[in-house]
Amino acid sequence: MASPPAEAFASSTIVVLVADLDGYAKAFRIRTDVEMARFLDRYYRVAEDIIHEAGGQIVKFIGDSVLAAFPEHGGPQAVSAAVTLRSAVEQLGQQAGIPVRLGVNVHLGPAVDAELGQAPSRRRDVVGRTVNQAFLLGRGPGIRISEPVYRKLPSGERTPWSKNKPPAVYVLGEGGEVLTGLRKSATENAIRW
């Protein structure tokens, strides 16, 4: 089978948001699969509404994780969506009696947004080092944004963020675990600050 032409895989600068429910696996050890499906359905719907309203698009859901993309200048909107989604997840968890919290990472850089695979499983995806780095910003509850996203925030919205490094990762509230395996030189090469 022939591969698509190279131009089908052009890179462009985007904002990547990855979100994950902290405590999800533990919470659903004692619940049924039907309860899990109902909760995920509500979570997916809320995430879709919030991200779409902020100007982003859901790329995919993977279990309790969300991968979304925003336009290049959508950093502040992605951060706002992350904050709103975190509050919405807290409400969903309280309403359902399920102790989960949201962890979100937001990063800006070049990535390929394209249709991948072959029919019938051909799907849109977003791939590249920027996506990988978004996952490497940290894990656990809280919101973490990279230096390029932080720089896009209006100065009045930067105050609540605390800086962790290396590399620079800004955290709002409890930050979960900030991963240190990502080094500045790799970040500079990938996103060309």
For residue 130, pLDDT beyond 60: yes
Looking at residue 105, which CATH number applies to its domain?
A: 3.30.70.1230
Does 169 reside within a domain?
A: yes
Instruction: Give me the pLDDT at residue 169, please.
Output: 82
Q: What angle do CA 155, 157, 161 make, to 5 degrees?
A: 105
Q: How crowded is residue 171: how many other Cβ atoms within 10 Å of its Cβ?
A: 19
Domain count within the chain: 1
Does 2 reside within a domain?
A: no
- pLDDT 10s digits, 39-90: 999 999 999 999 999 999 999 999 999 999 999 999 999 999 999 999 999 9
CA dist 156 and 177 (Å) reads: 26
Instruction: Give me the pLDDT at residue 163, please.
Output: 87
Instruction: Give me the pLDDT at residue 186, please.
Output: 37
Instruction: Give me the pLDDT at residue 183, please.
Output: 45
Does 72 reside within a domain?
A: yes
Give this prediction's pTM. 0.85
Give percent of the chain with pLDDT exceeding 70.
Answer: 84
Give me the chain's average pLDDT, please: 88
- What is the domain extent for residue 60? 10-191
Check residue 31 and report its DSSP letter: S
Does 55 reside within a domain?
A: yes
Does 4 reside within a domain?
A: no
Tokens 């049924």 belong to residue: 32
The reply to whether omega before 167 is within 30° of 0 (cis) is: yes
Determine the average pLDDT of the residues in 147-160: 93
